[in-house]
Amino acid sequence: MNYLFGDLIERNISSQVFLSLLIVMFAIAGIDLIFLFLNELSDLSDYYTLNHVLIYCLKSFPYRLFDLTSYICLIGLIIGMGSLTNKGELIGAQILGKSLTSIAVAAFRPVLLIMIIGLLASQFFIPSLSQSAEETRSQLQEKVSYKQGYWNNNDHSISFFHSAPERDRILGLTVYEFDKERKVSRVIFAEEAFLNLSKWEARKKETINLSNYSPDNTSVVSGLPELNIDFDQMLSPKYLSLTNLYIQSRETFSKYRKNELSLEFWRKVLQPLVTFSLVILAMSFLFGPMREQKTGQRILIAIGVAFTVDLTQKLLGSISVVSEIPTIASVLFPALLIICIALVLLKRV
């Protein structure tokens, strides 16, 4: 038990750091949510109402929070450990026989908990929430065109739909059915379609038979031609779980799509490493040459470093998608560079 949670002194350090992480998380997340809400107000319309804006902000919030996890941990750790230093508790812990390593491990435990929760969230519920938020928003704002929707090819038909708020519901469906000569024989329009027992069913369906030009309109729930829609191959990488990202990056034939999927996969999988690198950097700020500086100065420097790391990762990520640079390198390189810098600073302790 002591190995997992430490003794009384280490548990006190962990609890103080965890409290600081929660405070920083609520502060940063709250500010980010307010700015997102204010930004969305400019797109209000008769269809995209205030309620829709609020729902979009809440649904997209977990993904944005996951993106900010590393920087929340960096700032929270500096504030928490800085508070313990100012109170003299870290000096007291060292007098009682605690080494800097054991203090660092105690401070890292709550960070590890947050990293595990983030990975689990990115696997199970963040992708579906992001998909629902972004797809519904685009549909309500009427920003979807035939270039931005999704095309799907089947044996006897080609289908197009504007958006997919859920995996079992699509909006703005158009199906072009072919005859034996591969000519369009029938066009089916549906405002909405649902997946029911592995078969798609439509509401408010309108059918146009091109062979005899006799439109058949009905508003009754009706079946559709067989639509084998593979969402994993169509949707944005941010809508996919870790396992789906890995599988699709191995199976897709498009090099650009493969790189996009691979970049998103490594960005999520290596998020704990990025967080760990920033934690080591925070330790170097607290115990290295900057230990005499005030907490506010350390926080400002940490924010600048975190912003630089984020900008570097995004820049390298964009380059790796369209070049021969491995996508894993674009995520790994900034993290390893930060770790090296932090270790050099810690050697001066």
With respect to residue 239, please indicate whether it lies within any of the assigned structural domains: no
At residue 220, the pLDDT reads 41
How far is residue 91's CA from residue 217's CA, in Å, rounded to a whole number? Answer: 79
With respect to residue 143, please indicate whether it lies within any of the assigned structural domains: no
At residue 349, the pLDDT reads 58
Phi-psi region of 192 (alpha: psi -120 to 50; beta: other; left: phi over 0): beta
Residues of the domain holding 92: 2-133+252-346
- pLDDT tens sequence across 66-112: 888 888 888 888 888 878 877 777 778 777 777 777 887 888 888 88
Shared-domain flag, residues 184 and 311: no
At residue 288, the pLDDT reads 67
User: Which of 21, 156, 169, 13 minimizes the C-alpha distance to 98?
Assistant: 13
Shared-domain flag, residues 213 and 256: no
Shared-domain flag, residues 272 and 178: no
At residue 223, the pLDDT reads 58
How far is residue 257's CA from residue 249's CA, in Å, rounded to a whole number? Answer: 8
With respect to residue 317, please indicate whether it lies within any of the assigned structural domains: yes
3-state class of 181 per DSSP? coil
Shared-domain flag, residues 192 and 334: no
At residue 211, the pLDDT reads 67
At residue 218, the pLDDT reads 42
How far is residue 173's CA from residue 160's CA, in Å, rounded to a whole number? Answer: 6
In this structure, the number of other CB atoms found within 10 A of the CB of residue 327 comes to 24
- State which of 210, 227, 244 marks the end of a domain: 227
Q: Report yes or no: 29 and 61 within 8 Å, Cβ to Cβ.
A: yes
Shared-domain flag, residues 203 and 274: no
Instruction: Give whole-number Cα distances, 193 to 140, 170, 217, in Å.
Output: 17, 5, 16
Q: Please write down the HEC assignment for all residues of 232-293.
A: HHHCCHHHCCHHHHHHHHHHCCCHHHHHHHHHHHHHHHCHHHHHHHHHHHHHHHHHCCCCCC
With respect to residue 144, please indicate whether it lies within any of the assigned structural domains: no
Shared-domain flag, residues 202 and 71: no
With respect to residue 124, please indicate whether it lies within any of the assigned structural domains: yes
At residue 212, the pLDDT reads 61
With respect to residue 47, please indicate whether it lies within any of the assigned structural domains: yes
How far is residue 227's CA from residue 153's CA, in Å, rounded to a whole number? Answer: 8
pTM of the model: 0.75
User: What six digits make up the tokens of 89?
Assistant: 């508790």
* DSSP string of 291-328, one letter each residue: TTS-HHHHHHHHHHHHHHHHHHHHHHHHHHHTSSS-HH
Shared-domain flag, residues 206 and 96: no
Q: What are phi and psi of 164, to 5 degrees?
A: -135, 85
At residue 217, the pLDDT reads 43
How far is residue 316's CA from residue 192's CA, in Å, rounded to a whole number? Answer: 40
Segments in the chain below pLDDT 50: 214-222
In this structure, the number of other CB atoms found within 10 A of the CB of residue 109 comes to 18
Report the domain count for the chain.
2
